[in-house]
Structure 1
Amino acid sequence: MRKHQLRWWALAVAILAVLVDMVDNQIVVVALPTIQRQLGTGEAELQWISAGYALGFALTLITGGRLGDRYGIKRLFLLGMTVFTVASLTAGLAPNVAVLIAARVVQGIGSGLMVPQVLSFIHAEFDEAERPKAMTYYAAAFPVGGMAGPLLGGVLTQADVFGLGWRSIFLVNLPVGLVALAGALLAMPARPGFVRHRMDLGGLVLLTLGLFAIFYPLVQGRELGWPVWTIGLMLAAIPVLGLFAYQQRVLARRGGEPLMPPGLLRRRSLASAQVVMLCVNTAVGVFFVLTLHLQLGLGYTPIEAALTFLPATLGIVAGNVLAMRLAPRLGRLFTAAAVAVLLVSLAAIALLVVWLSGALNAWVLLVPAVGFGLGMGATLNALFATSMSDVRPDQAGATSGVVNTTVQLGTATGIALFGTVFFARLPGGFTSATAGTLVVSVGVLVLALVLTAALPRGAPPAPGPQAPATERPKGVSP
């Protein structure tokens, strides 16, 4: 396939979308108290202002990836960005909390349509020589956006730009969305999709129900005190997803185009990377607790708390550069070393929390914060590359959806797990609660380190030329 001349400009637009998504996922947290005062919301409604976005996003990711396979990456990216931008405008002008929550869910759906297209675009438009560099930019967008979200939210809310207060955290998406839409129209290649069969509506319904049964209790369970029905709902996901897997195999045998090709997760590079990625994203969810510790325990303002961990972005940049240079040569050894750096950094933060207690400050956290970013950037970069290493072009969208769903599932699991541990130990004081939570996070990273042994030993194999989906003989499973 002939290289698209504007592919790097198009990548910049795509990465901008990922950054906006990650920022918007976190930006609302520091503005919640202000929203509560002005709209008179209850605690459950506050939870849904934040969780509604994550739920809409998670439920749409795999479907969004597959729709990109069918209708083309550019079309779905434009559709997703349009939905996201309009929903941001609605959230910024919301007259009441019900409209705000609905707009947040629709924002998540828009992100779920556009974000999977980014990995698909990288896989389709960049060759083996260029792909590591492109993946470096992509992987960096996740932690950088996650770190920048609370800082930007604090600045916009406290600055009260044009008297808009908390509304500015949503309205700031409008110029960004318009720039991204214009950039995508000008720079992204309009290539057709691979899939020519009808959309797998049965699979879509089963997958959505299964993911909902997992994500809804995770984002709402802690707020409700984990009633029995939340556990039952998560357990119900097992037979629902089992039925989904069976339906996908039957559809593939009949020559249809399943939503998730049955052979996808049998690929060692993808399956093993997802297990490690799930653990790592769960573990770094402890950042949620660290933010609470600084603000509620030590009296930091939102901006001060965000600035404390801003040096982590330097580590993220360095980690991505290292991954680009070393991960292709060292394979799983590099990933294991990156997880180890992340583990040691979080252990150091735990020791500082206990040792210094109320005297904890940004300066003593500087080195472990940089190490935290270094380990996170290097690990995610290497795992993203491993996940996409031997995927056929016609399966890139589905694979991208799986990878991004793993990230969201890990994040939601981390917040639920660490929030539960933190608030259960809070009667003993902030130091005890935060330190105990960090110990659990370190334990999850120890598990991730052990599981890196299942990753491919060396450099991921380059995918060979494959026939597109329309050229496969009927009845042959992907």
Structure 2
Amino acid sequence: MAISSEQAPSVETEVERLTTGADAAADTVKLDPKRWAALLVLLVSAFMDLLDGTIANVAAPSMQQELAAGYSAIQWVLVGYQLAFALTLILGGRLGDIFGRKRMFLIGVAGFTLTSLTAGLAQEPWQLVISRVLQGAFSGIMVPQVLSIIHVTFSDKERGTAFALHGLVGGLAATLGLALGGLMVEWDLFGLSWRLIFLVNVPIGLVGLLYGSKVITESKAPQALRLDLLGLVLATGGLVMLVYPLLQGRELGWPAWGYASMIASLPVLLGFVAWQRRKSRKDGSPLVELGLFRTRSFSSGLAVNLIFYVGMGMFTIGWTLYMQIGQGWSPMRAGLTSLPFCIGAFLTATTSVMVLVPKFGRKAMQLGAVVLVAGLGSYIWVAGEYGSDVTSWHLVVPLFLIGLGFGTVATPLPLIVTSEVPHKDAGSASGLVNTNTQLGFAIGGALVSVVFFGGLAGNTGAGVDQQIPQLRQDLVATAGVTPGEADTVIAAYRTCSVDRAGEKDLATVPESCTVAPLRDQKVTSVLAGYQEDATGTSFAASFQTLLWVFIGITAVVFLLMFAIPRRLRHEGEGAPEAGQATVS
């Protein structure tokens, strides 16, 4: 039966009930006395996984140099992990429902730990690629269990706190990966260089295995479920056809087959949906319980989550490019520059679920979106005002505001999405939430190619054109060339700069940069400063464009938040099974 808006209490009232434990029925449920110790294990494992996704990007140049690997091989070290992770999340979540969430979590941790060891010991590029792909697959088994165990272990009274801590860990891992990766590579502890970013997971994983086996209580779906193999094949095939071209599009030059693959993924995924409906009628054991999507808190929360992480995926990649390549900052400096973001996210990751959302409801999340836009707008101003002369101090306020907005919007989303999920489908729902997030990041990464790199060559050419009058004078006065020779040098310099901006691997030196006019030592000494300025200015301009797009995406997120229902109902208060309830 649908609930009218007049009968339904406000989201503020309901979320307050969620965090204060007003539900008397929930209070009568015997809670696991080891649940907070179990949460510690879950959060450390989630932090380890999220950290590895970021930290490897920072260490990629060192890997490439030490292993004498090609650019494509290193791309597979990064993309292979993401692809395997995205493809196993739904499977991992359902395996937890069927065989036990604790069991699958420990299997995931064990595999993640072992593949971290093999990655740290790799002597050949192919060994590192295989280790990373397997690491991503085991991570896809481990990570869905985190949200599902939180969902079934904690009462409504405590679940908000647990989700808040989970959101805090996610925000910190995403940003601290830059700083920690830079520190580990630059310090070169024990001569391990990049290998330490993988080997450090081994002792942490072993402790997690031993401690987790003692403090995590096993849980699974109350009725027997069977693994949907055909559904698994259809879901995996459809996601591969969609996600792989997104992840590798720029590297492959956006070939026609990539677009064909993404278009063809639609009928495959529609076939998956049709099979899930048939599977539900047949034996009640689909890979994904489609009835969950009939619940507004689940479907609207997923929609907000997807669009939000499209923007965050764009921002994260573009931000790294802007700092490390555009400004030429070291990984350690780039990481330390991110600390204001971490502080902002820390302040709101816990308060958004425990204080702001209970008091103001979804308006708190919308306020977070407004703060995020303010941070992005201030970043646009700083990037345009200071160009290549920007310092870390100039970015403190923009990054702090972005962190505040991120924590306020992102942290409550898993709680909203899973608020009405029955315990039997907790793993499946968790896998969907994480897959949804990864798909958002993949789409955001693909948009970087269009939004950021698409205008980089043009921005570089425009930047060089602004330098020409002063550059001509300096070449004549300092390098001792004639005005005619200066024009030849400037034309070669402009071509080189634009060609370099168009390279897939920005470390590659185009042939146009090795021509005779650019090999003179006096000429190169004059051009060095101009080239650094042109790179910084062009990357700043491209990053400004990306930030404007992110502002537009955030505006869409703000509007989508109105679809979140006024009342968030939970299984603990007697909500009907997913697929049998509607909320209006």
TM, length-normalised to structure 2:
0.78
1:322 alignment partner in structure 2: 351
For 2:219 and 2:225, the matched residues in 1 are separated by: 17
Q: Does 1:301 align with 2:330?
A: yes
SS at match of 1:16: helix
The code of the aligned residue for 1:432 comes to A
- Contact preservation (8 Å) 1:77, 1:114: yes
Q: Deviations over 1:248-287 (max 9, x none)?
A: 1001111230010121112110111111111111112212
Once residues 210 and 55 of structure 2 are traced to their aligned partners in structure 1, the CA distance between those partners, rounded to angstroms, is 24
The amino acid of 1:407's aligned partner reads: T
Residue identity opposite 2:340 in structure 1:
P
Question: Which residue does 1:128 correspond to in 2?
Answer: 156
1:449 aligned residue? 558
Q: Is the 8 A contact 1:73 1:193 kept in 2?
A: no
Compute the displacement of 1:466 (Å).
Answer: 6.3
Question: Bigger shift: 428-437 or 168-177?
Answer: 428-437
Q: Which amino acid aligns with 2:250?
A: R
> What is the aligned counterpart of 1:56 among 79, 84, 88?
84
- Taking the aligned partners of 1:195 and 1:289, their CA distance within structure 2 comes to 46
**How much does 1:368 deviate?**
1.5
Pair 389,51 (structure 1): closer, same or farther in 2 beyond 3 Å: same
The match for 2:404 among 371, 374, 378 is 374
Give runs of ≥4 in structure 1 deviating > 4 Å: 465-469
Give the whole-Å Cα distance in 2 for the aligned partners of 1:133 and 1:177.
24
Superposed CA deviations along residues 117-136 of structure 1, whole A, max 9, x for unmatched, are 11111111111111110110
Correspondences of 1:14-413 after superposition (within 5 Å): 14-285=42-313, 286-323=315-352, 324-413=354-443
Instruction: Give 1:463's aligned residue.
Output: 571
In 2, the alpha carbon distance for the partners of 1:466 and 1:223 equals: 51
> What is the distance in 1 between the residues matched to 2:361 and 2:427?
24
CA shift at 1:433, angstroms?
A: 1.3
CA drift at 1:94: 1.1
Other structure's SS at 1:130 match = helix
Post-superposition CA distance 1:405-430 (Å, at most 9, x none): 11111111112212332222222122
How much does 1:402 deviate?
Answer: 0.7
Gap regions ≥5 residues in structure 1: none
> Which has the larger displacement, 63-72 or 320-329?
320-329
For 2:371, the aligned partner's letter is V
Mapped partners of 1:432, 1:468: distance in 2:
52
1:271-316 superposed Cα distances (whole Å, 9 cap, x missing partner): 1111111111111221211121112121211000111111211111
Instruction: Tell me, yes or no, if structure 1 residue 423 matches structure 2 residue 453.
Output: yes
Deviations 1:423-455 (A, max 9, x none): 222221222211111111111111111211111
My pick for the range that moved more, 426-435 or 124-133, is 426-435
Contact 1:49/1:104, CA 8 A, preserved across alignment: yes
- Distance of 2:254 and 2:87 partners within structure 1: 21
Could you tell me which residue of structure 2 aligns to residue 436 of structure 1? 545
CA distance in 1, matches of 2:408, 2:445: 22
What is the alpha-carbon distance in structure 2 between the residues aligned to residue 329 and residue 395 of structure 1? 29
Looking at structure 2, the residues matched to 421 and 262 of structure 1 have their Cα atoms a distance apart, in angstroms, of 34
The 8 Å contact of residues 165 and 350 in structure 2, kept in 1 or not, is answered as no
| SS class of match (1:2) | coil
Contact 1:394-1:468 within 8 A present in 2 as well: no
Q: Distance in 2 between matches of 1:430 and 1:65?
A: 40
Q: CA deviation at 1:198?
A: 2.3
SS at match of 2:283: coil
Offset of residue 197 of structure 1: 2.9
CA distance in 2, matches of 1:314, 1:465: 36
Partners in 2 of 1:99 and 1:20 — Cα distance? Answer: 21
> Which AA in structure 1 matches 2:410?
L
State the shift of 1:190 in Å. Answer: 2.4
Question: Structure 1: how far apart are the matches of 2:563 and 2:216?
Answer: 36
1:172-218 superposed Cα distances (whole Å, 9 cap, x missing partner): 11011111111211110123443513211011111111111111111
Q: Are the counterparts in 2 of residues 60 and 112 from structure 1 also a CA contact under 8 Å?
A: yes
CA distance in 2, matches of 1:197, 1:298: 54
Moved more, 63-72 or 278-287: 278-287
Q: In 2, Cα distance between the equivalents of 1:95 and 1:297?
A: 31
**How far 1:149 sits from its partner (Å)?**
1.1
Task: Provide the rounded CA distance (Å) in 2 between the counterparts of 1:139 and 1:466.
Answer: 27
User: Distance in 1 between the 2:222 and 2:89 partners?
Assistant: 18
Whether the 8 Å contact between 1:39 and 1:97 is mirrored in structure 2 is yes
SS of structure 2 residue aligned to 1:361: coil
Mapped to 2, the partners of 1:194 and 1:245 lie a distance apart of 24
Q: What does the per-residue CA deviation read over 1:130-184, in whole Å, with 9 as the maximum and x for residues that have no partner?
A: 1110110111121111111121111111111111111111111101111111121
In 2, Cα distance between the equivalents of 1:419 and 1:15? 33
Q: CA–CA distance in 2 between the matches of 1:244 and 1:359?
A: 52
- Of residues 86-95 and 193-202 in structure 1, the stretch that sits farther from structure 2 once superposed is 193-202
Which amino acid in structure 2 is aligned with residue 334 of structure 1? A
The residue type equivalent to 2:569 in the other structure is P
* Letter aligned with residue 288 of structure 1: I
Aligned to 2:482: none
Matched residue type, 1:353: A
Contact 2:168 2:350 in 1 (8 A): no
Quick check: 435-444 or 325-334, which moved more? 325-334
Equivalent residue, structure 1, for 2:532 = none
Given the superposition, is the C-alpha separation of residues 306 and 142 from structure 1 closer, same or farther in structure 2, using an over 3 Å criterion? same
Distance in 2 of aligned mates of 1:277 and 1:401 = 14
2:421/2:570 contact within 8 Å kept: no
Instruction: Call closer, same or farther: CA 1:106–1:297 in 2, change over 3 Å.
Output: same
TM-score scaled by structure 1?
0.95
Contact 1:309–1:369 (CA<8 Å) still a contact in 2?
Answer: yes
CA distance in 2, matches of 1:457, 1:190: 34
- The answer on whether the counterparts of 1:65 and 1:398 sit within 8 Å (CA) in structure 2 is yes
* Letter of the 1:157 counterpart: V
Contact (CA 8 Å) 2:362, 2:561: kept in 1 or not? yes
Q: In 2 relative to 1, CA 7–271 (structure 1 residues): closer, same or farther, beyond 3 Å?
A: same
- Between structure 1 and structure 2, the one with the greater Rg is 2
Count of residues paired in the alignment: 473
Provide the secondary structure at the position in 1 that maps to 2:393: coil
